[in-house]
Amino acid sequence: MTEPAPLLRLEARGLVREFPGGAGVHGIDLDVAPGEVHALVGLNGAGKTTLMRILLGMLRTDRGDARIDGVDLRSAGPDTWRRVGHVVEHPFAYAELTGRGNLAIAARLRGVPRDDVDAAVDRVIDEFDLARYANVRASRLSLGNRQRLGLAAALLHEPSFVVLDEPTNALDPAGVILLRESLVRRAAAGAGILVSSHHLDEVARIAHRITVINDGRVIGELDPAGIDLERAFFAQVHADVAGRVA
């Protein structure tokens, strides 16, 4: 008997959210499968962050629909959102709390059982090399270490679907490597990961698919194993712009 196809972590069809002046997203289809790292690339203002905010329920669509693990976003409740981890635009942290305090609160908000919180926090502190900052207030952390803290908070509950918007911002090379290893491990365990980045060479190291967005539309894909991704990316963007101007 044929095995059923695996449930998509994300399935989005015809997403439209338009703002005055024409900005927004205009009919985007997007999938993320279990075990897949799907990267979004585009110029500033291409619509990547708007798309991610829609997929996280932070913005309503004008048209279209999306499902996370088969659940329509319009009816998604706490059980669905506890299976999601995200960092969009800026990592959130309570400035007056320590790194460990922030992670403990994140664990409870994401449904980690009370008896398991300390172990989950310890694991992610080790994973992101945050031990020396665990008892330092977030307000005193550097931008890079606050980014590490935000990523740790987003991933400590082992989400099945992960959305990260420019996650390497402010990270030093060691932090980039730690994040890369973390995402590869979670994808191997079955998580679906959607990540946006300006760093084509970096996302190509871990991405199974790279989707190019321009002016709120999907305009093509890049081969992660391809040569000179930057040239291929700009060729697609220029062709899209020229085609719509003509």
Q: Which token pair is 186?
A: 């979670």
Q: What is the DSSP letter of 119?
A: H
Is 70 exceeded by the pLDDT of residue 91?
Answer: yes
**In the chain, what are the domains?**
1-83+159-246 (3.40.50.300), 93-158 (no CATH)
Which one has a higher pLDDT value, 212 or 244? Answer: 212
* 194/8 Cα distance (integer angstroms): 12
How many residues does this entry show for the chain?
A: 246
Indicate if the pLDDT at residue 81 is higher than 90.
yes
pTM: 0.94
- Paired tokens of 38: 């799907």
In the chain, % of residues over pLDDT 90: 90
Q: Where does the pLDDT of residue 6 fall: very low under 50, low under 70, confident under 90, or very high at 90 and above?
A: low
DSSP 8-state code for residue 137: B
**115-155 pLDDT, tens per residue?**
999 999 999 999 999 999 999 999 999 999 999 999 999 99
- Measure Cα distances from 183 to 25, 96, 213 in Å: 26, 29, 22
